[in-house]
Structure 1
Amino acid sequence: MTDLKNFEIWFVTGSQHLYGEETLKNVARHTEEIAKALDASEHIPVQVKYKGVVTTSDQIFKVCEQVNNEPKCIGMVAWMHTFSPAKMWISGLQVLRKPMAHFHTQFNDEIPWSEIDMDFMNENQSAHGGREFGFMVSRLRKNRKVIVGHWKNEECRKQLGNWSRVAAGWHAFQNLKVARIGDNMRNVAVTEGDKVEAQMRFGFQVNTWGIGDVVAFVNQVSDAEVEKLVKTYSDEYEITSEVLKSQSLRDSARIELGLRAFLEDGGFGAFTDTFEDLHGMKQLPGIAAQRLMADGYGFAGEGDWKTSALVYASKVMAQGLKGGTSFMEDYTYDFRKDRSRVLGSHMLEICPTIAEGSVRCEVHPLGIGGKEDPARLVFTAGAGPAVNAALMDMGNRFRLLVNEVDAVKPDQELPKLPVASVLWDPKPNLEIAAQTWILAGGAHHTVYSRAINTQFFEDFADMADIELLVIDEDTKVRSFKDNLRWNEVYYHLF
């Protein structure tokens, strides 16, 4: 996973020659000062590059082409310091393929009441220059992020920083290779989808690889490498002497090493597997999938390549943020009179980045699949605001569905549960959240994250130009059903 500091967003300012060379010099000086301040901000994890002031159609077209063609550049930030006649922007915006944020700010914060004159007014026209630019972007039907406020304001810097994280996730999404190890879980619908359309829409590649391709790497792992990894397990997790001595743990370690080598050799950033297709492997990868996710790989079970890809993009966005991000599944309900809740888990593969407290390495029977007992990391996730997000192929479009939740501490211990888990309270409540999720065709697999929130996924949907539905504290079933109907009309027409 590429470090966010290796990415750049380009800061470009619009103006025109009408105001004279002295004004343009001030515009350039102000722009450079703002770009340097944003680049130094702790809230913006990527580099912010000053790319000058554009005053003609040719300059604008050239810089937009450069944004497209520079591999490190993941998006452009546009600011109108003065009035920049927007017809100049048409050709550039038409070719711009990377995400854009419109920063509607101005150099000064407060009005200099006793000194303001016409020279000041001519130089500081962001208030209406930004509206002229906004009209043209809307007329061109281009999605973008609009951030309003002074550039020194911490909230504005946070918004820009989060947008830059999403731009990095979108960039990673477009350049991702997903290894679908084996095929889909038999007869399951939602984990399927149009992989050709996905590559056309999102850029990432999904191809199937035989189990034997992975097994070949597993068989090349030496006993010394296995023992070294077992020692790592012992150092990093709580583990009993019985498990530490077991052959099952060594088989799990060998699978992790082989699977990691396979992914590195193929340049994959995400992968799937399924317990129905494990010929040649002793176990379903458990601790392997968990630790690979913790290192930034995308993963989803049962051949679910869409969720695997979304896990990867989410982990790119969440770099350096607290709370963790994981593959997840709504597993069972806790129906109660006061407030019903959901226990989220999976057979094995929950990422330890969401853990709070001790993480135990254990070996238990899987109960399905007919393979040997796999090792896995067992823990309980931390409490706090979180989201569940799912990506579905609806036939004529992709739909991104988000439910805001509050993770809570379980009321009681779970001494017999042999997998990692998290208990959450969906917004607005379980009954409405589950009803609207089902009405939207929401998948049973999700990306669960306490590190990123709904706004990240909203910006991501804008960049990908796909449908977004949000279930939150304000969701009402009737209005949600109306949104579904209106969206069907929109996507039928467009």
Structure 2
Amino acid sequence: MPERLPRIGVMGIMQELYDAMLPGITERQAAYAEEVAAQLAGVAECTVPAPVRTRADAERTVRAFEEQDLDGVLVIMLTYAPSLRVTRALAGLRLPVCLANIQPDPAVTPAWDMADMTYNQGIHGAQDTANAMVRAGVPFEVVTAEWRGAEFRERVGRWARAAHTVTALRRLRVGVVGYAMNGMGDARFDEAALLRVLGPEVEVIAPGELYRTMTGLPPSEVEELMAAEDELFDVDPRLAKEERTDHARMQLAIERLLVERGIGAYSTHFDAIAEDGRFARLPMAAASALMAKGYGFAGEGDVLAAVAVHAGHRLAGDGHFTEMYAMDFPTDSILMSHMGEGNWRVGRPDERVRLVKRPLGIGGLDDPPTLLFRIRPGPATLASLVSLGGERFRLVVAEGEVLDSPELPALEMPYGQFRPDSGVRGCMDAWLRAGGTHHMVLNLGRHAADWEAFCALAGIEFHQV
């Protein structure tokens, strides 16, 4: 699942009125829209059609954007244009919208004439258009900035990433192997409400289908995967060939099912695997490897957390599934880990990831090969997707730092110590009051502003602790 830049349609709006007064103005302002798009190179792939000057232009342009499978629409006022010409098109638009309140020239100078006034009069067109969208109930972002500056790139880039994430979730299918863990209340939700609000569709994968897919794999694919692991990881010499072969078959079978069904995120529950009776071990290393390839994942059948990891991949890169294991008051930090699943791409660059043989009593099966690493020190962000009942969803977010903490030699699962900016006491008090779940996504870097932009576009609550 290769990552890509957000794909954005640039909708430049003007009107025919000025053509007679300023011959060539349409071509001039169209070139300006192309320059704006070029300024966004590296943060978005922009599609720039001809300027919109009539209602028919607007509706044709919007249809084309939706047919091109874009992530969002950036509206630019090339001159003033009456909003009623675009109201219907924007009211029915299914893509996230950002209104760029910009103009070609950053400063009003004594050299300006009526032509310059006309070229730079987008501000009142933006007001008319924004008013129409507000009255139509269309959510949108606004960016007022000098379009040649870094602030413009940064803010539009943040909106574009959020738009890419929103549209990705609208198309997402989440696979659940077996069922969700019994009694785990914070993962419970209304599937239809999740589909209506955010878009993900849940599909159950029978363990028997996973088993049949495993048994049908050609040996060459299994050998190829193990050879790749030998190159990527330090492989524990205690791992027998049979253990590695079985693990590789599980990983390849899961991925094949995901590809065949168009599934972008999944979750397995240890009881569903163990109770089936046909599996020798749990697919721990498989989860880590597939997260590293861009799939969302969560343990124990937790669809909400799998959606959060998928969103973290798209919004900030390299989403890592984890949970808060224990508090460490002397360092004001929280030990982050899980049973053995984690995105190895967030591991420390100065330590090779290890593929280890480790005992795991949970599930009552044989030892599962596990990818072991420590999370890279530096800024990091946690995010938890919360169902509040009905169609209310909330994202609880904490920014902080992964510490360069001592090794924990007996801990044979991915781990790291996260120190929240608000401190353990303040963060956890606020996290619990907000209903933050015990499974979450971790991304390297500070991304609270990105998550806030996502929540605004997705129509869900944002709560930073």
TM-score (norm 2): 0.93
Task: Give 1:492's aligned residue.
Answer: none
In 1, Cα distance between the equivalents of 2:127 and 2:386? Answer: 36
Cα offset for 1:205?
1.3
In 1, Cα distance between the equivalents of 2:98 and 2:61? Answer: 15
The worse-fitting range, judged by mean Cα deviation, of 200-209 and 83-92 is 83-92
1:49-68 superposed matches below 5 A? 49-68=47-66
- In the alignment, residue 19 of structure 1 is paired with which amino acid? Y
CA contact (8 A) 1:43 1:158 kept: no
Give CA deviations for 1:112-149 in whole Å, capped at 9, x if unaligned: x2311233223311233322322222222322121121
Cα offset for 1:242?
2.3
1:73 and 2:73 correspond: no
Q: Give the secondary-structure state (helix, strand or coil) at the position aligned to 1:329.
A: strand
Give CA deviations for 1:461-485 in whole Å, capped at 9, x if unaligned: 12221122122xxxxxxxxxxxxxx
Task: Give 2:259's aligned residue.
Answer: 264
- In the alignment, residue 29 of structure 2 is paired with which amino acid? H
Could you tell me which runs of 5 or more consecutive residues in structure 1 were left unpaired when the two chains were aligned.
Answer: 472-494
Cα offset for 1:67?
2.6
Structure-2 change in CA distance of 1:305 and 1:448 (3 Å): same
Cα offset for 1:409?
1.0
The worse-fitting range, judged by mean Cα deviation, of 363-372 and 342-351 is 363-372
In 2, Cα distance between the equivalents of 1:354 and 1:22? Answer: 58
2:269 paired residue among 270, 274, 278: 274
CA contact (8 A) 2:75 2:97 kept: yes
- In the alignment, residue 310 of structure 1 is paired with which amino acid? A
Task: Give 2:343's aligned residue.
Answer: 351
Give CA deviations for 1:64-98 in whole Å, capped at 9, x if unaligned: 33333x14322111011322222333212211111
Cα offset for 1:309?
1.9
In 2, Cα distance between the equivalents of 1:312 and 1:452? Answer: 18
Q: Give the secondary-structure state (helix, strand or coil) at the position aligned to 2:48.
A: strand
Structure-2 change in CA distance of 1:389 and 1:28 (3 Å): farther
Cα offset for 1:452?
6.5
2:426 paired residue among 432, 443, 449: 432
Task: Give 2:93's aligned residue.
Answer: 96
Cα offset for 1:106?
0.8
Task: Give 2:122's aligned residue.
Answer: 126
In 2, Cα distance between the equivalents of 1:351 and 1:80? Answer: 43
In 2, Cα distance between the equivalents of 1:153 and 1:445? Answer: 39
Q: Give the secondary-structure state (helix, strand or coil) at the position aligned to 1:53.
A: coil
Give CA deviations for 1:348-373 in whole Å, capped at 9, x if unaligned: 11101111132111011112121111
Structure-2 change in CA distance of 1:105 and 1:24 (3 Å): farther
2:193 paired residue among 197, 204, 209: 197
1:220 and 2:219 correspond: no
In 1, Cα distance between the equivalents of 2:235 and 2:78? Answer: 60
CA contact (8 A) 1:318 1:452 kept: no
TM-score (norm 1): 0.88
Task: Give 1:210's aligned residue.
Answer: 206
Cα offset for 1:177?
1.5
In 2, Cα distance between the equivalents of 1:28 and 1:141? Answer: 33
In 2, Cα distance between the equivalents of 1:120 and 1:37? Answer: 18
CA contact (8 A) 1:39 1:49 kept: no
In 2, Cα distance between the equivalents of 1:271 and 1:123? Answer: 51
Structure-2 change in CA distance of 1:57 and 1:216 (3 Å): same
1:391 and 2:388 correspond: no
Q: Give the secondary-structure state (helix, strand or coil) at the position aligned to 2:103.
A: coil
Give CA deviations for 1:4-33 in whole Å, capped at 9, x if unaligned: 25x631111222334344547335423434
Aligned-residue Cα RMSD (Å) equals 2.0
Q: Give the secondary-structure state (helix, strand or coil) at the position aligned to 2:80.
A: coil
In 2, Cα distance between the equivalents of 1:454 and 1:286? Answer: 29
Structure-2 change in CA distance of 1:380 and 1:21 (3 Å): farther
Give CA deviations for 1:353-403 in whole Å, capped at 9, x if unaligned: 111132111011112121111011111111222211111211121112211
Task: Give 2:359's aligned residue.
Answer: 365
1:454 paired residue among 439, 444, 448: 448
In 1, Cα distance between the equivalents of 2:14 and 2:193? Answer: 40
1:308 paired residue among 306, 309, 332: 306
Give CA deviations for 1:257-311 in whole Å, capped at 9, x if unaligned: 2222222222211110111111222111111010001001110001111211221
Structure-2 change in CA distance of 1:354 and 1:284 (3 Å): same
1:10-25 superposed matches below 5 A? 10-21=9-20, 23=22, 25=24
Identity of aligned residues (%): 27
1:86 paired residue among 75, 83, 101: 83
Task: Give 2:163's aligned residue.
Answer: 167
Task: Give 1:481's aligned residue.
Answer: none
Structure-2 change in CA distance of 1:272 and 1:252 (3 Å): same
1:110 and 2:98 correspond: no
Could you tell me which runs of 5 or more consecutive residues in structure 2 were left unpaired when the two chains were aligned.
Answer: none
CA contact (8 A) 1:191 1:302 kept: no
CA contact (8 A) 1:388 1:447 kept: yes
In 2, Cα distance between the equivalents of 1:30 and 1:469? Answer: 41
1:4 and 2:1 correspond: no
Misfit runs of 4+, over 6 Å? none
Q: Give the secondary-structure state (helix, strand or coil) at the position aligned to 1:208.
A: strand
In 1, Cα distance between the equivalents of 2:267 and 2:422? Answer: 32
Task: Give 1:444's aligned residue.
Answer: 438
In 2, Cα distance between the equivalents of 1:308 and 1:181? Answer: 12
1:331 and 2:325 correspond: yes
Cα offset for 1:61?
3.0
Cα offset for 1:99?
0.5
Task: Give 2:174's aligned residue.
Answer: 178
Structure-2 change in CA distance of 1:126 and 1:43 (3 Å): same
Q: Give the secondary-structure state (helix, strand or coil) at the position aligned to 1:62.
A: helix
Cα offset for 1:437?
0.9
Q: Give the secondary-structure state (helix, strand or coil) at the position aligned to 1:193.
A: coil
- In the alignment, residue 107 of structure 1 is paired with which amino acid? P
CA contact (8 A) 2:382 2:440 kept: yes
In 2, Cα distance between the equivalents of 1:24 and 1:171? Answer: 40
CA contact (8 A) 2:79 2:120 kept: yes
Structure-2 change in CA distance of 1:215 and 1:23 (3 Å): farther
CA contact (8 A) 1:15 1:80 kept: yes
Q: Give the secondary-structure state (helix, strand or coil) at the position aligned to 2:283.
A: coil
In 2, Cα distance between the equivalents of 1:380 and 1:247? Answer: 27
In 1, Cα distance between the equivalents of 2:255 and 2:394? Answer: 31
Cα offset for 1:246?
4.7
- In the alignment, residue 291 of structure 1 is paired with which amino acid? A
Q: Give the secondary-structure state (helix, strand or coil) at the position aligned to 1:277.
A: helix
1:466 and 2:421 correspond: no
- In the alignment, residue 14 of structure 1 is paired with which amino acid? I
